Each structure stands twice: as structure tokens, then as C-alpha cells.
Amino acid sequence: MNPVRMLIAAVLLAGLTGVVWWSNKDEKAKEGKPAADAPPVILAIKPDQVKQIDIKRPAGESTSVRFNDKGKWEITTPKPLLADPTEITKLTTDFANLVSERLVDANATDFAAYGLAPAKLEVDITTKDGKVTKLLIGERTPTESAIYARLDGDPRLFTISGSHQATLDKTSKDLREKHLLNFTGGRLMSVEVTAKGKSGPETAVFNRVGETDWEMVKPRKMRADGAKVDEIVSKLKLTEMDTNVPEADLKAAAARFASAPLVGIVKVIDAVAAQSIELRKIDKFYYAKSSATDGVSRVGNDLGDVLGKSIDDYRNTKIFDFAFSDPTKVSFQDGGQTTTYEKVKDKWMANGKEMDATGLQAFVDRLRDLSASKFVDSGFTKAAITITVTSNDGRRTETVDLAPAAAGADYIAQRRGEEGLYEIAADAVMQLRQSAGDVKEAQAGAKK
């Protein structure tokens, strides 16, 4: 190849390489920077740097919240109240990236024409370094879709989306903690419920057993319906005060609260503290008094529906606890005859003989479904049927005695080692006996 042409090509290639290098360098420099015509960012304050927020109005309530030494947000003005962390997060998130819709004037002089002198709303943001940034909110634009805004000491006039007004224009009623109790739920160790009893209010105490179960320890040690205890806990966590109730109505309710019909009282204990809530019904509304808040608050009907139960409603009506854990051994004694079924690998055996799996499963299902029609304190006579079920890989053994009721045709069940009696309908016992009688030996050559 011609040496001259090679030299020219090399020079051109070097020049092109230089152009590409400078182009890439320029693009890198632009990364992370807004476009030249992008609307200016008004605020860019990191949420974790905000120490205090003051929301001021020319007329009406001004509200102040601060991040206290305990790591919690609290309202300090107009009166001390706990703040709702979720609502505060909405505010601080807005401060993190408040972008204008457009720059109206880079050097405005007449702010009064835009509702900014004085401002319709002033939001002062104090950061941990002591710096105070004042955001001023004015009138809506002629199209009503945006709002005029500026920073105190900054001559620029902006418009921002009208949606910011709903986030920033908050009162203490909006920002206060509305939950009547503040606990973790998963860490609860005990729940105490005072509800309707047979002769007046009764109190039951439920203690946590393991991670998910509950046990009634007062007034007597009895099995609890864990789902219903969990329902109380869930409702308590979600229950909020109705902040739209007029102050006059709340004062009237507070005056009548002590004499109003009691719906229920719940006390919860977690690893931190004990909290309680008392619920009463005044006219057609439910009102609550909480240990975590001041005064009386109106609440929705959900909590009343849950607490309006009797203590017996929190007891477990199932006679056996093995539920969906398949038994490995079942002993059924009826009168003078006792039959024991034991599972060996995948076969049920009795007296060295294989039993029909279908009939045996139907019998186990009857045991699983056996439930009390009501709870009684007496009436157990002499056991006519004794059933022992071993389940949970041999770790759980339950023995239940069934006796004809002292009066009537029903039966009374007693779980050994536990207090409390269960009344069972006679039909349920008849079906159980029939199911036990239907268990037969497996037929030779039958499909397993």
C-alpha cells in the first residue's frame, strides 16, 4: 500500500478516536445532571436529615412536629400528641424531591399577586444541622391544576403540582397518631379480655404458647380458640379513632362514658409494656378509652363486633387438637370392648391385621370433627367411651372420656389433665360409634 495513504489513514483514525473519547467524556459529565430545560428542583432534603417541621397559616391552626430524642415523631403544637409515622413519611418524602412544574419568573418582585405575601401556607423545615428552609405556598394558577410557590429569600417564582397541597397542608388532626394502641402484635405475650359472662362481666387471660398458639389460663386453664384471640389482636392493631367527630360530641360522650354499657376491655402485654382499651356503647356508636391516648374516641363497629362476645366464645370447641396432623395411633374403648389401631408405615393395623384404610380414615375424620355444642360446669357421670389419640409423630397424646349427661340425652366430654367440660350432641356420639363400627379388615387383594 502507498505509504502516504497509510499515513493519512492513521491520522484520520487518531482524530476520530479523539472525537469519540471527548464525546464519551462529555456524556459522562452529563450523567446525573438534569436537562438544561428541565424544571428546577425546589427542595432536595433527605428524609433522615429532617429534625422539625412547622406548618403555619395566616389564619387557623399552626402545627409543629419534631423528631425527639427517643427516635419518635411527636406533635408539639398546638398540644403534645404522638405523631403518625406514616403521615410524617409522606411529608419528608415530598421534601426529598420537590420539583417545580415551571419557573414563572427568575426574579419576581410582586409576590402578593400570587398569594405569597403573605403566603397561604408556610412550611418550615429544620434539618439536623440547624438550617431552616421555608417553603411558601400561594394561590392556585388560573387553570387550578397547579400552585404558585417559592422559597423564602429566593427571588424565583415557581408553580408546583396541586397534589403537593394535599400532602403539605396538614393539621395536628391529620398528623396525630390515630391508632388507639401501639404494639407489635407478633411479640405479644398475654391478652386479657373482659367480656360478657353468665352472670355479669368475666375476665379471661390468654398466654402465648409457642409462636402461634394461645392458652386460656384464667379463670381456669383451658384451651383457647387461637383464631378468635388473633382476631382481637388484629382488630386492636387496626383500630383508629374517628378524627371527624365534632369536639362537642366527644365531650358529651366522655361525660357519659363511665355509665354507658360495657362492651369489653382488652389489655395486651408485650416485651415493652402493658396497654389497655375500654370499649362502651353510647346510643348507636362505640367509644373507646385507651391507656395510650388521652380522652374518649369514637371508633368503628369492627372492634365492638369482636369484643361483644362472651368468654366462652374464646374457648376451643374442638374435642381433639390433632387437627390436620395425621394420628399414628387411636384407641377406642366403648363399654367393655377396646380396639387399638396403629399405623405401621402406610398401613393401619389392629391385632396384627391390616385394616381398611377408607373406613379407618372416615373414623379419624369423625374424631377430628367432634365438637362441643356448648360448655358446661357439671354433669359428667361415669365414662361410657374413652378415646386416646396419638399424633404429631408421637409427641402429642390426647385422652377424652365421654359420659351420658346427668340430665338429658346428650353427652359430656372431659379431656384428661384439663379443666372444663364439653357438652356433645347425642347424634354426634351416635355417628362416632357407627363410624367406629364400620372399620373393617382390609380385603385380601384389595387395591391399596
What confidence score (pLDDT) does residue 443 get? 87
Q: Which three cell numbers stand for residue 356?
A: 381398611
The answer on pLDDT for 287 being more than 50 is: yes
The winner for highest mean pLDDT among 130-139, 183-192, 219-228, 235-244 is 130-139
Which of 267, 269, 447, 258 is CA-nearest to residue 358?
Answer: 447
The answer on pLDDT for 52 being more than 90 is: yes
The answer on pLDDT for 25 being more than 60 is: no
Report pLDDT digits (tens) over 378-412. 999 999 999 999 999 999 999 999 999 987 789 99
What confidence score (pLDDT) does residue 60 get? 84
- Return the percentage of the chain with pLDDT > 90, whole number: 68
Rounded Cα distance between 9 and 409, Å, is 111
Least confident of 12-21, 50-59, 119-128, 421-430: 12-21
**More confident site: 347 or 60:** 347
Rounded Cα distance between 165 and 150, Å, is 14
- Measured CA to CA in angstroms, residue 128 lies from 43, 63, 90, 125, 382 at distances of 16, 19, 19, 10, 76
Strand partners, 333: 338, 386
What confidence score (pLDDT) does residue 30 get? 47
Spell out the domain ranges in the chain. Answer: 1-33, 41-175, 190-314, 329-437
Q: What is the mean pLDDT of the chain?
A: 89
What confidence score (pLDDT) does residue 336 get? 85
Confidence at 14, pLDDT banded by 50, 70, 90: low
Strand stretches in 283-370, DSSP E = 285-290, 296-299, 329-334, 337-344, 347-350, 353-354
The mean pLDDT of 195-211, rounded to a whole number, is 85
Residue 392, sorted as left (phi over 0), alpha (psi -120 to 50) or beta, turns out to be left
The answer on pLDDT for 4 being more than 60 is: no
Confidence at 36, pLDDT banded by 50, 70, 90: low
Confidence at 212, pLDDT banded by 50, 70, 90: confident
What confidence score (pLDDT) does residue 12 get? 52
The mean pLDDT of 303-318, rounded to a whole number, is 89
The answer on pLDDT for 27 being more than 80 is: no
Residue 408, sorted as left (phi over 0), alpha (psi -120 to 50) or beta, turns out to be left
The mean pLDDT of 179-186, rounded to a whole number, is 76
Report pLDDT digits (tens) over 354-377. 999 999 999 999 999 999 999 998
Confidence at 250, pLDDT banded by 50, 70, 90: very high
CATH topology of domain 329-437: Immunoglobulin-like (2.60.40)
Count of positions (residues) in the chain:
448
Contacts of 30 (CB under 8 A, 6+ apart): none
The answer on pLDDT for 24 being more than 80 is: no
Strand partners, 64: 54, 77
Report pLDDT digits (tens) over 80-116. 988 999 999 999 999 999 999 999 999 999 999 999 9
Q: What value does the CA radius of gyration of the chain take, rounded to a whole number of Å?
A: 36
Q: What is the DSSP string of 31-73?
A: TTPPPTTSPPEEE---GGGEEEEEEE-SSS--EEEEE-TTS-E
DSSP one-letter code for 145: S
- pTM of the predicted model, to two decimals? 0.73
Q: What is the DSSP string of 150-177?
A: EETT---EEEEETHHHHHH---HHHHB-
Report pLDDT digits (tens) over 333-350. 998 899 999 999 889 999
Confidence at 185, pLDDT banded by 50, 70, 90: low
- Return the percentage of the chain with pLDDT > 70, whole number: 90
Report pLDDT digits (tens) over 108-154. 999 999 999 999 999 999 999 999 999 999 999 998 889 999 999 99
Rounded Cα distance between 211 and 384, Å, is 37
- Cβ-contact 385, 401 below 8 angstroms: yes
Contacts of 182 (CB under 8 A, 6+ apart): 82, 275, 292
What confidence score (pLDDT) does residue 15 get? 56
